[in-house]
Amino acid sequence: MIKIIQLVTGEMLIADINKNNEMENPLFIHQQAVEGQGPKVNLFPYNILGEGNISLNPDNIVWTVDPEQKLLNQYQEAFSSIITPPGPKLVK
Protein backbone atom coordinates (compact mmCIF):
# COMPACT_ATOMS: atom_id res chain seq x y z
CA MET A 1 0.00 0.00 0.00
CA ILE A 2 1.59 3.25 -1.15
CA LYS A 3 1.48 6.05 1.43
CA ILE A 4 2.88 9.51 2.04
CA ILE A 5 4.64 9.60 5.41
CA GLN A 6 5.49 12.74 7.40
CA LEU A 7 8.35 12.15 9.85
CA VAL A 8 8.95 14.12 13.05
CA THR A 9 12.14 15.46 11.40
CA GLY A 10 9.97 17.23 8.81
CA GLU A 11 10.91 14.88 5.99
CA MET A 12 8.06 13.77 3.77
CA LEU A 13 8.39 10.41 2.02
CA ILE A 14 6.34 8.32 -0.34
CA ALA A 15 6.82 4.57 -0.11
CA ASP A 16 5.16 1.21 -0.50
CA ILE A 17 4.41 0.01 3.05
CA ASN A 18 4.42 -3.78 3.33
CA LYS A 19 2.58 -6.00 5.82
CA ASN A 20 5.59 -5.88 8.21
CA ASN A 21 5.26 -2.07 8.40
CA GLU A 22 8.49 -1.59 6.39
CA MET A 23 9.08 0.93 3.63
CA GLU A 24 9.88 -0.49 0.20
CA ASN A 25 11.25 1.87 -2.46
CA PRO A 26 11.04 5.05 -0.37
CA LEU A 27 11.39 8.38 -2.15
CA PHE A 28 11.93 11.79 -0.54
CA ILE A 29 9.29 14.33 -1.56
CA HIS A 30 10.75 17.75 -2.33
CA GLN A 31 8.21 20.55 -2.75
CA GLN A 32 9.19 23.76 -4.50
CA ALA A 33 7.15 26.86 -5.18
CA VAL A 34 7.31 27.88 -8.84
CA GLU A 35 6.20 31.45 -9.50
CA GLY A 36 3.08 31.54 -11.62
CA GLN A 37 2.72 27.74 -11.64
CA GLY A 38 2.09 26.78 -8.04
CA PRO A 39 3.96 24.02 -6.21
CA LYS A 40 6.24 21.58 -8.02
CA VAL A 41 6.94 18.15 -6.54
CA ASN A 42 10.15 16.22 -7.20
CA LEU A 43 10.92 12.72 -5.92
CA PHE A 44 14.44 11.66 -4.93
CA PRO A 45 15.83 8.32 -3.68
CA TYR A 46 15.78 8.14 0.12
CA ASN A 47 17.80 5.02 0.88
CA ILE A 48 20.87 5.49 -1.34
CA LEU A 49 23.42 3.95 1.03
CA GLY A 50 21.60 0.88 2.32
CA GLU A 51 20.02 -2.22 0.85
CA GLY A 52 16.63 -3.72 1.52
CA ASN A 53 13.56 -2.36 3.22
CA ILE A 54 13.51 0.28 5.96
CA SER A 55 11.74 -0.53 9.22
CA LEU A 56 9.44 2.22 10.47
CA ASN A 57 9.46 3.36 14.08
CA PRO A 58 5.89 4.51 14.82
CA ASP A 59 7.26 7.09 17.28
CA ASN A 60 8.88 8.96 14.37
CA ILE A 61 5.74 9.23 12.24
CA VAL A 62 3.56 12.33 12.51
CA TRP A 63 0.96 11.23 9.95
CA THR A 64 0.34 9.12 6.85
CA VAL A 65 -2.04 9.67 3.96
CA ASP A 66 -2.88 8.12 0.60
CA PRO A 67 -1.22 10.03 -2.26
CA GLU A 68 -3.36 11.85 -4.80
CA GLN A 69 -3.42 10.21 -8.24
CA LYS A 70 -0.87 12.47 -9.98
CA LEU A 71 1.75 11.87 -7.28
CA LEU A 72 0.93 8.15 -7.20
CA ASN A 73 1.53 7.98 -10.97
CA GLN A 74 4.84 9.84 -10.58
CA TYR A 75 5.92 7.38 -7.87
CA GLN A 76 4.92 4.33 -9.89
CA GLU A 77 6.73 5.66 -12.99
CA ALA A 78 9.96 5.86 -10.96
CA PHE A 79 9.90 2.07 -10.48
CA SER A 80 8.27 0.91 -13.70
CA SER A 81 9.23 0.69 -17.34
CA ILE A 82 5.57 1.30 -18.18
CA ILE A 83 4.71 4.97 -18.61
CA THR A 84 1.31 6.10 -17.36
CA PRO A 85 -0.16 8.73 -19.68
CA PRO A 86 -1.63 11.89 -18.17
CA GLY A 87 -5.39 12.14 -17.78
CA PRO A 88 -7.69 12.45 -20.79
CA LYS A 89 -7.57 15.65 -22.81
CA LEU A 90 -10.10 17.19 -25.14
CA VAL A 91 -8.98 17.37 -28.74
CA LYS A 92 -10.60 19.79 -31.16
Q: What is the pLDDT of residue 49?
A: 86
For 20-75, write each residue's pLDDT tens digit: 989 999 999 999 988 888 889 999 999 888 888 999 899 999 999 999 999 999 99
Rg (alpha carbons) of the chain, rounded to whole number? 15
C-alpha–C-alpha distance, residues 46 and 29, integer Å: 9
pTM of the model: 0.80
